[in-house]
Chain A
Amino acid sequence: MSADYIVEMKGICKRFGGIEALRNVDLELRRGEIMGIVGDNGAGKSTLMKILSGAYVADEGEIYVDGEKANIRSPLDARRLGISMIYQDLALFNNLDVTRNIFVGRELVRGPFGLFVDKKRMYARAAEVIRDLRVDIKSPKMSVARMSGGQRQMVACARAIAFQCKVLIMDEPTAALGVTEANKLLGLIRNLRDMGISILLITQRIPDVLAIADRVFVLKGGQRQDVLEVSKVTLDDVVTLIVKGKDRNGGPAPEVQYKSFG
């Protein structure tokens, strides 16, 4: 078991009723890299990542974190292993301020049985995280409901890194953002990597991946196609792989057993 990899997923299978969403997928994430996860709609990107984050449980397959076999059955299990996921719909709480958003489910507590919240420490820690991330959020008391898409992404990031987070999974973080905000966010993702966090970046925007990722993982029809070094490929290579699969030179791609509802 090589400890070069912070995360290894082996032979992951997942079915939803009769639909085979993932078939025997292997994934290796290196320590401190940004890996893009790409593929067409329904390729299984989100499903694979949700299995790592504990939102889904795989039907078959094993996960190793830091070289050790991990049993991830809930988001809480994943979080204890240092794995956090930022969901596409952000999963923020519009009724709460920045600090309370950051600490939901992991409040800093005091008193017997952790009965009371330690507000002072939470607001101080939130201010610290915001400063570390160098993001434009004015106050840890700001209400999330009034924020822009980019700011909301940053709160989501802050939420992930306020705790010992070793692996951060981001689901289409730039999808709803304008050019300026998207660029800011990509810069932030690089900062996170420089802070030592390994990042899995699900995206449809291939240029984003080529701009910041070290490697790119291509899924098609629930199967792993290939993992490419970003420095050695072009946009066309990646797109071809996404569309045609890895056997493009050996005749038509094998019929994959992916059935969709539509």
Chain B
Amino acid sequence: MPKMDLSGLRKYTVLFILLGLMAFFSLASPYFLTARNLTNIVIQNTYFIIVAVGLSFVMIGGGIDLSVGYQMSLVGVITAMAMVLYHLPLWLSVLIGLVLGTLLGLINGLIVSRIRIFPLIATLATSAVFQGISYLVSKANTFRSYPPEFLFLTRGKVLGVPFDILLTLVVVIVASLVYTETTFGYRLMAVGGNEEAARLSGINTKRMKVAIYTICGFLTALATMVMISKANTTNSSFGPGTEFIALTAAIVGGVSFMGGEGSVPALVGGVFVLAVIGNGMQLAGWGTYAQFIVRGLILLGAVAFDEYQRNLRLTQQKGR
């Protein structure tokens, strides 16, 4: 049976979907295709992009991290408490948050690589733990009135561009270079593609795994700073849910659920696909609840497409 080979087009799939959606919603609502709305979409999604980039390291390495949303919850309240409750200097508070996030990622990495628990279960378990700690520490309080310097992160502008957009841009560019230019990125693709073969090639796969969860933890913490600065308030319910959007965006953006594949530009496209759907549905008056259904269906569709591509290659290989 000849099957259509879409792999060459796959690079641009996300772009096509994004443009299609934008065309659709611009018909559905006159407000969609305005400069102001489009700018809003970008600004509202900077931290999703940072989390998705972090998650992409884990996924390309063949793992998964469901706990990112709960890492955000814990890092968020700790950072906020350091600033608001204990009046620590801003730099120290942010540093504490970033170090904490990195440690949470490290813990995930150690559990997955040393105790060898299946990452889906391991990070589901740590999600619950992180969330519990977050509520215990915050005593379910909400924290607000951050120091004004902290708000610069999302309110400030450099050369007319919002600071968090610049920050996101830096993360995206650096991550992109890591994948395409560095030894680490090359090896990570190998580990995600065939872990045992990578080990036999002399790559320390365990250390690699610890590294990717740690990177993910750090970037998640960085995203948390943007998130709580943008909201100008925090409590323990801030963060959870992000993992679903980041995961879906990554898969829509062509990061394979099975590891070994993915590119940062497409990943960013994936985030915007979800963002445009959310925004467009809102403007078209279809409400928030329907968005959940749509997001779920998109996740299913994207994973199915990923599987389809994979099977296609396998049958080709056997066929010759």
Residues in A lying within 8 Å of B, measured CB to CB:
55, 74-76, 79, 85, 87, 91-96, 100, 103-107, 109, 114-117, 145-148
> Known contacts A92-B194, A92-B197: does B202 contact A75 (CB below 8 Å)?
yes
Q: Are B193 and A95 in contact (CB under 8 A)?
A: yes
> In the assembly, what is the distance between CA of A109 and CA of B185, in Å?
12
Q: Is B63 an interface residue (CB 8 A)?
A: no
> In the assembly, what is the distance between CA of A105 and CA of B204, in Å?
9
Residue numbers in B under 8 Å from A87 (CB-CB): 197, 200
User: What is the minimal beta-carbon distance from A150 to any residue of chain B, in angstroms?
Assistant: 10
> Known contacts A94-B313, A116-B183, A146-B317: does B192 contact A105 (CB below 8 Å)?
no
Q: Are B183 and A117 in contact (CB under 8 A)?
A: yes
Q: Are A93 and B186 in contact (CB under 8 A)?
A: no
Contact indicator per residue, chain B 182-197, by CB within 8 Å of chain A (1) or not (0)? 1111110110111011
Q: By DSSP majority rule, is chain B's interface helix, strand, loop, or mixed?
A: helix
Q: Are B182 and A96 in contact (CB under 8 A)?
A: no
Closest 10 A-B residue pairs measured CB to CB? A105-B201, A91-B197, A95-B260, A95-B193, A76-B202, A93-B193, A105-B202, A104-B190, A104-B201, A148-B320
> In the assembly, what is the distance between CA of A167 and CA of B316, in Å?
33
Find B261's partner among A75, A95, A146 (CB 8 Å cutoff): A95
Q: Are A75 and B260 in contact (CB under 8 A)?
A: no
Q: By DSSP majority rule, is chain A's interface helix, strand, loop, or mixed?
A: loop
Contact indicator per residue, chain B 161-195, by CB within 8 Å of chain A (1) or not (0)? 00000000000000000000111111101101110
Q: Is B99 an interface residue (CB 8 A)?
A: no
Q: Are A115 and B183 in contact (CB under 8 A)?
A: yes
Interface size class of chain B, counting residues whose CB lies under 8 Å from the partner chain: 20 to 34
User: What is the minimal beta-carbon distance from B308 to any residue of chain A, in angstroms?
Assistant: 15
User: What is the minimal beta-carbon distance from A4 to any residue of chain B, in angstroms?
Assistant: 29
Residue numbers in A under 8 Å from B193 (CB-CB): 93-96
Given A94-B260, A95-B189, A115-B182, 11 new contacts (CB under 8 A): A91-B196, A91-B200, A93-B190, A93-B197, A100-B186, A104-B187, A105-B203, A107-B186, A114-B183, A116-B182, A147-B320
Residue numbers in B under 8 Å from A116 (CB-CB): 181-183
Residue numbers in A under 8 Å from B200 (CB-CB): 55, 75, 85, 87, 91
User: What is the minimal beta-carbon distance from B106 to any residue of chain A, in angstroms?
Assistant: 21
Q: Are B201 and A91 in contact (CB under 8 A)?
A: yes
> In the assembly, what is the distance between CA of A103 and CA of B186, in Å?
10
Find B187's partner among A85, A105, A146 (CB 8 Å cutoff): A105
- Please name the residue on chain B nearest to A149 by beta carbon: B320
> In the assembly, what is the distance between CA of A118 and CA of B320, in Å?
33
- Please name the residue on chain A nearest to B196 by beta carbon: A91
Residue numbers in B under 8 Å from A145 (CB-CB): 313, 316-317
> Known contacts A96-B189, A104-B198, A105-B187: does B182 contact A117 (CB below 8 Å)?
yes
